Amino acid sequence: MSRHLLIIYPHWPPSNLAGMHRARLVANGARESGWEVTVITVHPDHHEEPPDPEVTRLIRPGIEVIHTTAKPVWKMMGRRLIGDIGLRAFQSMKAAATVWLQNNSTDFIWMPIPSWYTPLMGPALARKFNTPYGVDYIDPWVYQLTEHEPPLSRAWWTRQAALVLEPRAIRAASIISGVAEAYFKPALHRCFPPGNRPVSVAFPYGFDHEDHRLEPASPTCPFDPEKGRYILYAGAFLPHSESIARCLFRAIATLKGNGLWPQDLRMRFVGTGVRPGPSISELAEKEGIDNIVHEHPARLPFLTIQSLLRRAHASLVLGSTEAHYTASKTFQCLLAGKPLMSILHGDSSALSFLQECKADAYSVSWPSPAHELHTRVESVLITLAQAEPDSWNPDLSPLEQHTATEGTKKLLQAIESLGT
């Protein structure tokens, strides 16, 4: 008899948020491993973000999806006070899970975060139905604030709430997982006494080969990819990436000032979003390179991003000054088959992936002495700009151990170790 995994997560295709891919890839991986999968999620009509219909093409057959409702965004005097989908849909998702568990048998309940609030239903569901549950850390719940998030700011209050809510959500969990151990290890120390901690398992987002074999039927591009060469950064501009972006832009400014930046090459940032502190455009303008660096903050459809990566002169990954950041987009960039420039923390797992694949020729390790770092970034940029399209020949065979299916197997083995 096959085993069954119940995933409770508010985002599912056609959602276009990054966390959706964690749930999708694990659901696909579980199906590949012979498990039955049911997903309880929020109907796309209740999402605030524009949908990405084409991403539904990337779901494996046989996954049962149950959609729930959500309360409207709560606003006061035009200000958005409560919009988190995990809060707005908490009662409806919990009710759907209760009904499903009353009528079906499952081996495990798995809830990724963020949204931060979904796993608060875990303890009650586990007690009522004698079913173990796990919480998966896509990001740390209690995270380090930046200088742009001062006391009493919205981010500060979110962190205070996290310190109170995290223990309530995870203390009854049987498994704590995450995209990297560093994402959840502090929570284990905060919330559990030594010797009485749940099973833990770390596995990256990984990748699904099928994601990179499909071209978008209706690409939505904010620029013409046929007009000149471009280096593409795709994804959010993270709060703790600002120092790294400043270093990169100072190097570009130096090359421009010395007449060494190619006239036909642009650096394009897409899907960067809105963050506390200066934007990519503002940082570029400050360095006088806004004619080279172009920002398109809106999130693009997933398959469009893959297509733009394959058509780029090169791709770019900016890490974080925090060592635990895994830069999951590294897999997408590698599979695009174009040179990859990265500036990553020296302890980042993403850098180790590049080294395994002998794909770190254009990598810069952070931190380093300021002069050495500036010189290295300049050198990499010059070499990258001159690279021929067919000069990129990494060995991608080591990536096979990091596919989404292989990562999901680690989670499923942890579930099986519980003896449920």
Q: In this predicted model, what pLDDT tens digit does every residue of 230-255 receive, in sequence order?
A: 999 999 998 889 999 999 999 999 99
Within the chain, all domains assigned CATH 3.40.50.2000 are found at: 4-208+403-417, 215-399
| CATH 3.40.50.2000 is the classification of domain 215-399 | yes
Confidence of residue 1 (pLDDT cuts 50, 70, 90): low
Q: How far apart are CA 406 and CA 176, in angstroms?
A: 18
Region label for 34, one of left (φ > 0), alpha (ψ between -120 and 50) or beta (otherwise): left
Per-residue model confidence as pLDDT tens digits over 200-209: 999 999 899 8
Q: How many CA atoms lie within 13 A of 350 on its CB side?
A: 30
Residues 373-415: pLDDT tens digits?
Answer: 999 999 999 999 999 877 888 999 998 988 999 999 999 999 9
Q: Which residue has 């080294």 as its token pair?
A: 355
CA atoms within 13 A on the CB side of 202: 12
pLDDT score, position 381? 97
The answer to whether residue 420 scores a pLDDT higher than 70 is no
How does DSSP classify residue 121? Answer: G
C-beta of residue 187 within 8 angstroms of C-beta of residue 166: yes
Domain topology for 4-208+403-417: Rossmann fold (3.40.50)
Q: Place 119 in a pLDDT band, splitting at 50, 70 and 90.
A: very high
Amino acid at 196: N
Predicted TM-score of the model (pTM): 0.91
- Span 164-173, pLDDT tens digits: 999 999 999 9
Average pLDDT, the chain: 92
What is the C-alpha separation between 359 and 42, in angstroms, rounded?
39
Task: Please tell me what DSSP assigns to residue 389.
Answer: G
Angle between helices 242-257 and 280-287 (to 10 degrees): 30
pLDDT above 90 for 12: yes
Q: Indicate whether 121 pLDDT > 80.
A: yes
Show Cβ contacts of residue 189 under 8 Å, excluding neighbours closer than 6 positions: none
Query: pLDDT, tens digit, for every residue of 252-267?
Result: 999 999 999 999 999 9
From CA 54, how far away is CA 217, in angstroms rounded?
8
Distance linking the first and last C-alpha atoms of the chain:
13
